[in-house]
Chains A and B, each alone.
Chain A
Amino acid sequence: MSIPRLLFKNQLRGYWKLLRKGLPLLAALLVFILFLAGEVRTLVTNKEFLGAFLPPVYAVVLLFIAARRILFLKYPPFYFSLPGLYFFLTTPVNHRLVLAGKILLSYLPLLFLGFGWSLLAGPVQTGLLNGAGLFFCLAAIANISWLLYNTAAGRLFLRKVLAFLAITLLLLLKTPGFVWAIIAAGCFWRAVNTVDEINWSKYENHCRLAYLSRKYFLAGDWGGLESLTYEYAREKRPAAAFLSTRVYVTGYKAFAYGQFLILSRYSLLSFVVFLGQYVFAVFLMGRGEFFSLTGGSFLLLLGFAGLFFLPVQKLEQRMAQGLFPAGGFTEFITGLLLLPAVVAWMFLAAIFFIAPTGINPLLQIAASLVPAAILSYLAVVRGMLQPAFSGWFLTGALLFALLFSCIYRASWWEALLVLLLFIPYMLISWRRMKRIYEGTDF
């Protein structure tokens, strides 16, 4: 079998796997894209609106892409698979030719974007770039991004700023598509001829991230995906060694302290994402309708569990590898519930001040202690009972959403009823987690 056929076979099997595993997600994505395309189509047929509004938005979007790809450059514009990179680097293939092919293949999405936009916008152009112009502009940005990605750190910042300013100027001057095509071709030529100057160690690291993300996604391994995100986000933040070496605690406090250490090494982005989810959840709850309340509570739980489940999952993974921590299950669960429960109570209590309900807030704050405990318990459930979005977690999440929306509306009897429903759920999940902890869950 020839080289292209073997590579094609590998791709085909990969796509088949993707299709089998991610069919619902792909279908949802397709529906979303079609919906979006329909909306855009409606917008662009409104010529008056388009004439006044779209050109500046269009330029801003392109500048945003340029800023992300050039000024705040972090990742390469295209990736090799990890085996692809290894085979490419360790065999005497024509490296220029392979790289050229890889760059050209990476243009495919840009081609769809450029001409897709052209198709949608129809006769009404934005006055800036047509489909081909947009394609060449994006290709030029991608090529410049690749050249800068491989530039030595010393001269990088100045080059990034200069490149971004040049692109801004070209966009402001409404440069025609053929100029972008010349720039794209020049940068392509330069990229292909500097294959020996590529920063392979950095590139390999980023290819590993992209490759493993895809691999975990295809395997439905959400835990693996989140661990990978954590690993790469942590790279930038050196571990605060003084925290782990100056404190010595045992029993449930050791679990709580371990959890605190892991949380202290989260990236800032993790907390920003959580706060974003919290703010949006509170906004939804403030609308007061039943669905907004339940949806807001559900979102709140997702954000909270997303923040606190990782320490639990890391412990669970280590136990699966043969590390059995000293201490019983009660110590384990107490230790892991402590910190999230306190944090959850603070955040739940704050909701009654941010979006007041007119009911005695002190009573609601006191009553929030129960959902706060449940919230932290569900974070443990999410970490212990895989997969991450299992029936266990989703059932608990639904019960929590109902419970907290009842407390928010001060429907005490309904809240009590939901709480009663929660008891069997907790008993069963507790026993299951205990079996996992003790290594008897076969």
Chain B
Amino acid sequence: MDDFGRRLLQRLVRRTPAQALKATLGKWERLTVAQRQSVDFTQPKVAVMEQLVAIFEENGWTVKHITELEMINYMENANRGMWHAFQMTDPKDDANAVEMMQFKEQFKSHLSELVRHVSVKIKKHTDEALWIRIAWGDSYSPPNHLKPTYVVHHLQTPYVFVTSLNSKQKPFLVQALILSTGYQGIKDANLSGQKLTAIRDLLMKQYQQIFPSKYNSPLTEKNETVSNPHIEREQSEHASKRLQMACEAFGDGIVPQLQTAVYKLETKFRGDANTNRTMTKREGPFRCLVKFASTNLLESFRECASSGIASTPVSPLLSSITLKGRNYFVVTENGLPSSQT
């Protein structure tokens, strides 16, 4: 194995916890049972590394095989890096009939036509998602395996999730995707987060949703606490109603874990003309950026609304995170979040 192979393998071993590495090797079908058992994961990482190198050299495996291993590892631990969502638009008639083999072939051939040196690997994950690993090179340099781009696409859906994509390479990827999926356009879905599953669930509406209804929902019963007969809530209907409204806006149960929501305001400054003359007199819009950050943003919002810290009904600005499946908004003067990218 050459130096570069060693470096790549070393990086993989270093970045992965021992248990995850063991699981990854188990998933990799190339290793024999005996080889797998011979690696002792209780040792320090350096020793594990040496054992792996020995196995790789014994079988004559190269960079190609290491990238395979890396890909399996990434698929199992997808919550690294920043994932961005894209949505393809204007499907052609055959967009719903794209089949996996056809997509694989077309994507590879289109991309290698566009970029001279590129290494593409496509694998199907257990949940029917297609994982694409792209190592980019250019006319003069071979593919850089240290900075691969990962793309996740569910066939027959317009959504694509991308991580660590360079702006220079974006047009190539976009073009290859459009040509091989039967869509005619692609746009930024304005949604990003560290958890791939979370942004996927949010876009595909795969979380427990509550729909507005005028009848009492079972939620009110859930909220009832066994309390002392001497304690009485005067405005008890408020609490259950707030919870209902919060769940309508942000979902019930476990909500997708988003980390941020960003609002770019381009509105006029409104306020008392006397107290802030310089601001209200300005002709142009007042630009500012409002950013909410939390380890689980939707849950925080739901908690704020249901506990009464934030007012209910929830502002459409906040509820459109789930409604429209995005977390980046540009708010312009007409008051509604516009969909400009």
- Chain A partners chain B: no
User: Which A residues are closer than 8 A to B by beta carbons?
Assistant: none
